[in-house]
Amino acid sequence: MNIEKYDEIRASLPAGVRLIAVSKFKPAEDIALLYQHGHRAFGENHAQEMKAKHEQLPKDIEWHFIGHLQTNKIKYIAPYVALIHSIDSFSLLKEVNKYAVKNERTIPCLLQFHIADEESKFGFTLEECEGMLQSPEFQQLKNIAIHGVMGMATFTDDQEQVRREFHHLHQIFEELQSRYFLQNPDFKELSMGMTEDYPIAISEGSTLIRIGSAIFGPRNYSL
Ligand SMILES: *Cc1c(COP(=O)(O)O)cnc(C)c1O
């Protein structure tokens, strides 16, 4: 846990950019420490882990779901999740809407785009996404609110490639905004940038950066 690094990142953020502290694989105690330091927005990528932490920790924490979400896990996060960054299919969005109805709330969501040149990253293509946004079925989803887009750049040392990918995501954001969300002030978030690439993401227009290891240290995936 590196509070100085946290303070340094916070101090460097331009107005309009928020920091999501990615606490996946880290114990609730680490989250509690950063909470005591004044931080409220945390990101997790496993639904059950988020649920367990939500139960243990103060209720004014804003929980951001940032990982691939399986439909049978939505129930663990639907009652309280602040923002799902990782909507990567129409079928997932429809299921999230169902659980939002059950919980009598609206769930804010971001549409995840595949911008990296890696196979493993989930996300829409622009074509798939527009197909969804134009469908009457989409119009009927009353309990989700689309707040913007999210993406992950390729894991590479090539800074220019990372910049191009973030730039591309920003273009997608603007295209969708102008075609489908002009009347919708909620559509304003561009979630991009992690420990290794957040300065580039910010210079390409990010509004939400998701930082884990710079703050909490390296993760031990065997836990
Ligand atoms: C783990 C993760 C992060 C944070 O990664 P760091 O490199 O540790 O900052 C951000 N976004 C997503 C989607 C993640 O899964």
Distance CA 6, CA 70 (A): 31
Q: Which domain holds residue 194?
A: 3-216
- pLDDT tens track for 90-147: 999 999 999 999 999 999 999 999 999 877 668 999 999 999 999 999 999 999 999 9
User: How many domains in the chain?
Assistant: 1
- pLDDT tens track for 186-221: 999 999 999 999 999 999 999 999 999 999 999 877
CA distances from 156 to 59, 66, 120, 130, 159 (A): 38, 21, 14, 29, 7
On whether residue 81 sits in a domain, the answer given is yes
Name the residue at shortest CA distance from atom 4 of ligand 1: 212
Are 209 and 20 contacting, i.e. CB atoms less than 8 angstroms apart? yes
Q: Which atom of ligand 1 is nearest to the CA of 214?
A: 9
On whether residue 223 sits in a domain, the answer given is no
- pLDDT tens track for 153-162: 999 999 999 9
DSSP letter (8 states) at residue 198: H
Mean pLDDT, rounded, for 50-74: 98
- The pTM is what? 0.97
Mean pLDDT, rounded, for 81-86: 98
- pLDDT tens track for 69-78: 999 999 999 9
CA of 34 to the centre of ligand 1 (A): 17
On whether residue 152 sits in a domain, the answer given is yes
Distance CA 202, CA 11 (A): 14
On whether residue 60 sits in a domain, the answer given is yes
Q: Which atom of ligand 1 is nearest to the CA of 198?
A: 9
**What is the predicted pLDDT for the residue at 222?**
59
Mean pLDDT, rounded, for 32-47: 98
On whether residue 23 sits in a domain, the answer given is yes
On whether residue 222 sits in a domain, the answer given is no
On whether residue 221 sits in a domain, the answer given is no
Distance CA 178, CA 108 (A): 20
**What is the predicted pLDDT for the residue at 122?**
86
On whether residue 119 sits in a domain, the answer given is yes
Are 167 and 204 contacting, i.e. CB atoms less than 8 angstroms apart? yes
Q: Which of 30, 110, 194, when mutated, tests ligand 1's pocket best, judged by the most ligand atoms within 8 Å of its CB?
A: 194
User: 3-state SS of 117-185?
Assistant: CCCCCCCECHHHHHHHHHCHHHHCCCCEEEEEEEECCCCCCCHHHHHHHHHHHHHHHHHHHHHHCCCCC
**What is the predicted pLDDT for the residue at 151?**
97
**What is the predicted pLDDT for the residue at 121?**
66
Mean pLDDT, rounded, for 34-49: 98
Q: What is the CATH number of the domain that holds 61?
A: 3.20.20.10
Does 223 score more than 60 pLDDT?
no
**What is the predicted pLDDT for the residue at 126?**
96
**What is the predicted pLDDT for the residue at 85?**
98
Q: Is the CB of 77 under 6 A from ligand 1?
A: no
Q: Is the CB of 212 under 6 A from ligand 1?
A: yes
